[in-house]
């Protein structure tokens, strides 16, 4: 085993982190100079512009130009490149956010998604002129269905939460079709917050189920909660503690006994691809996050894609339009009487799907199994390296992620968020903090399959060093981060003042305020 040196945190004036010396962050409006512009339009019939504007009703016309910045192209570029340097990102180093699956985003996918024959396609061109993209969508639906062992897939949801919502709409449509008026959906207390929110958004009542002592679903508690009013259950597998839900098949059987449905949150599918299929677990509906398991970039918060896979019984309820293959070629079918209706302006985030398609085809079946395998090995390896400084919540092997706890630091007046902030000084992103709610002071850590052992060792070493600091010089941790472009920002004061647009800041200055 290679020796790992204790990493040195970056000094405050260092530019190694890509951070310039500390100063206020600049906004594009502050580069504005009257009369500057960053783009020239084609020379058009300038004389006609005024006439064209005059043809619009005067009462509907704008009286003065919108307050947009006036900036040349080089200044725009410098501004955005300048602020880009203030971001942590996967291409820089480890991004171990639990349940977010921050794996490497292959470069080829960006190139392929930008082919004009994909990027510039208008959805309303004649179907005969769209056979390539329709074929890609049709194939990818079937390939994803195969990955999760289900009968059919909709690529329409724009993100995981919209996939969850579609799941709940499918609950509604199914039960309506069966003549049921069921209202309750069971949700384990370890679930992502989107789960209960999606339940409510679709007119169901969430019933929270406490986890068992081992951090998994408690079959007895679930059986006790099930009655004729139970529309179904939402299960995350592996769950947010990184544990496989061993009883999922028994849970599904109990739910199916009252004609309920099992929805699986597939946010953690990176642990299962090629290894275990939701279709074999009794799951009726599962969503996948292409921006997690299938390597499409998160883009600073989106766009994503959250396809939903279902059993053959639920296929007639999927959103329209559906890509169909006929002898004459591919076409879009809009007439599906049982469909929940449309969910997206067209067929989902096709631009994201192209990237995920390329990723899946770069793997094949063997590569897919290698992904979950390496993700699980990395998580377990890192768990053992971290456990001596931040104890692990559950004493057993984990799947793709694990939960450490920072509870012990409280006796040194150091909070879990302080530990997270101190990690930033070591050039790493922090893990997910204070989630899941059922583990006090949780650090939820997911390394993904794309990290190497030396990287994991450096991260574990940083956590060891921070644990030492907590005991020996807690103020160093409490006041972190020290190397970032700004210090810790006062979120409470920000919420009170609520300056959410540039105009407000300027008006404040005009008024002579601070």
Partner 1 sequence: MSNIGHTPQEERAMLAAIGADSFETLLDQVPSALRQQKPCDLPPAQSEFELRRTLSGLAAENYDPLRSLSFLGAGFYDHIIPAAIDQIVLRSEFYTAYTPYQAEVAQGTLTTIFEFQSLICALSGMEIANASMYDGASAAAEAMLLAGSATRSERVLLAESIHPRTRGVIETYLDGSALEVLTLPERKGQVDLAALEQALTEKPAAVLLQQPNFFGLLEPLDRVAELQQRLSAETHLVVSADPLSLALLAPPADFGAQTVIGDVQPLGIPPQFGGPSAGYFATRASHARRLPGRLVAEATDAEGRRGFVLTLQTREQHIRREKATSNICTNSALMALRATIFLSLLGPTGLQEMAALCAARGQQAAERLCGIRGVARRHAGPFWREFVLTLPREAEDAVERAYEAGGVLAGVPLSRFWPERRRELLVAVTEKRTPEEIETLAETLEKVLA
Q: Which stretch binds partner 1 (CB under 8 A): 222-230, 309-317, 408-416, 425-433?
A: 425-433
Q: Does 246 bind partner 1 (CB under 8 A)?
A: yes
Q: Does 143 bind partner 1 (CB under 8 A)?
A: yes
Residue 225, exposed/middle/buried by CB under 10 A (0-12, 13-18, 19+)? middle
- What number of other Cβ atoms are within 10 A of residue 28's Cβ? 15
Single residue of 10, 95, 389, 406 touching partner 1 by CB under 8 A: 95
CB of 24 to partner 1, least distance (A): 4
447 membership: H or E segment, kind and range: none
> Strand, helix or coil at 392?
strand
- The answer to whether the CB of 369 falls within 8 A of the CB of 274 is yes
Enumerate residues 435-494 that contact partner 1 by CB under 8 A. Answer: 435, 449-453, 455, 481, 484-491, 493-494
Of 175, 400, 409, 192, the residue nearest 287 (C-alpha) = 192
Enumerate residues 43-72 that contact partner 1 by CB under 8 A. Answer: 44-45, 48-53, 55-57, 59-63, 65-71
Residue 33, exposed/middle/buried by CB under 10 A (0-12, 13-18, 19+)? exposed
Single residue of 182, 287, 412, 429 touching partner 1 by CB under 8 A: 429
Residue 104, exposed/middle/buried by CB under 10 A (0-12, 13-18, 19+)? middle
Of the pair 52, 312, the CB lying nearest partner 1 is at 52
Q: Does 256 bind partner 1 (CB under 8 A)?
A: no
Enumerate residues 297-326 that contact partner 1 by CB under 8 A. Answer: 297-306, 319
459 membership: H or E segment, kind and range: helix 453-472
Of the pair 257, 365, the CB lying nearest partner 1 is at 365
**Gap between the Cα atoms of 365 and 121, Å rounded:** 30
Q: Which stretch binds partner 1 (CB under 8 A): 258-266, 307-315, 464-472, 501-509?
A: 501-509
Of the pair 108, 411, the CB lying nearest partner 1 is at 108
Q: Which stretch binds partner 1 (CB under 8 A): 8-16, 155-163, 459-467, 469-477?
A: 155-163
Of the pair 298, 411, the CB lying nearest partner 1 is at 298
106 membership: H or E segment, kind and range: none
- The answer to whether the CB of 368 falls within 8 A of the CB of 274 is yes
CB of 464 to partner 1, least distance (A): 16
Enumerate residues 355-414 that contact partner 1 by CB under 8 A. Answer: 357-358, 360-371, 373-374, 376-378, 380-381, 383-384, 396-397, 399
- What number of other Cβ atoms are within 10 A of residue 111's Cβ? 11
Of the pair 147, 209, the CB lying nearest partner 1 is at 147
Q: Does 337 bind partner 1 (CB under 8 A)?
A: no
């Amino acid at each position: 085993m290679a020796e790992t040196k204790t990493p040195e945190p970056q000094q405050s004036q260092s530019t190694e982190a890509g951070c310039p010396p500390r100063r206020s962050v600049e906004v594009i409006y502050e580069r504005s100079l009257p009369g500057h512009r960053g783009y020239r339009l084609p020379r058009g019939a300038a004389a006609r512009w005024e006439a064209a504007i005059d043809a619009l009703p005067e009462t509907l016309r704008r009286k003065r130009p919108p307050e947009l910045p006036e900036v040349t192209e080089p200044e725009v570029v410098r501004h955005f490149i300048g602020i880009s340097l203030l971001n942590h990102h996967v291409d820089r180093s480890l991004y171990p956010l639990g349940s977010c699956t921050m794996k490497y985003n292959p470069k080829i996918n960006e190139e392929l998604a930008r082919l004009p024959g994909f990027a510039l396609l208008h959805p309303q061109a004649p179907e005969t002129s769209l056979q390539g993209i329709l074929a890609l969508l049709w194939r990818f639906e079937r390939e994803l269905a195969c990955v999760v062992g289900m009968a059919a897939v909709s690529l329409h949801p724009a993100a995981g939460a919209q996939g969850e919502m579609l799941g709940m709409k499918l609950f509604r449509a199914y039960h309506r079709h069966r003549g049921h008026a069921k209202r309750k959906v069971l949700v384990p207390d370890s679930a992502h917050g989107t789960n209960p929110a999606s339940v409510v958004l679709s007119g169901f009542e969430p019933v929270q189920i406490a986890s068992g002592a081992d951090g998994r679903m408690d079959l007895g508690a679930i059986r006790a909660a099930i009655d004729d009013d139970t529309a179904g259950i939402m299960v995350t597998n592996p769950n947010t503690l990184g544990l496989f839900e061993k009883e999922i098949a028994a849970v599904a059987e109990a739910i199916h006994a009252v004609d309920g449905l099992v929805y699986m949150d597939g946010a953690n599918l990176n642990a299962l691809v090629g290894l275990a299929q939701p279709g074999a677990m009794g799951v009726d509906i599962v969503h996948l996050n292409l921006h997690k398991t299938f390597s499409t970039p998160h883009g600073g918060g989106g766009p994503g894609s959250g396809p939903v896979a279902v059993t053959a019984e639920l296929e007639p309820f999927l959103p329209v339009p559906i890509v169909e293959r006929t002898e004459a070629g591919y076409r879009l079918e809009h007439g599906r009487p049982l469909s929940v209706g449309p969910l997206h302006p067209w067929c989902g985030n096709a631009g994201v799907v192209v990237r995920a398609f390329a990723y899946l085809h770069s793997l094949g079946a063997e590569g897919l199994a290698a992904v979950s395998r390496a993700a699980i090995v990395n998580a377990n390896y890192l768990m053992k390296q971290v456990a001596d400084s931040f104890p692990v919540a559950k004493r057993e092997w984990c799947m793709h992620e694990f939960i450490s706890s920072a509870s012990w630091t409280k006796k040194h007046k150091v909070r879990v968020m302080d530990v997270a902030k101190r990690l930033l000084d070591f050039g790493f992103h922090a893990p997910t903090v204070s989630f899941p709610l059922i583990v006090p002071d949780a650090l939820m850590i997911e390394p993904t399959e794309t990290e190497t052992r030396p990287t994991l060792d450096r991260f574990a070493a940083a956590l060891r060093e921070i644990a030492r600091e907590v005991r020996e010089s807690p103020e160093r941790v409490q006041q972190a981060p020290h190397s970032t472009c700004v210090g810790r920002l006062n979120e409470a004061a920000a919420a009170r003042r609520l300056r959410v647009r540039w105009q407000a800041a300027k008006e404040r200055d005009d008024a002579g305020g601070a």
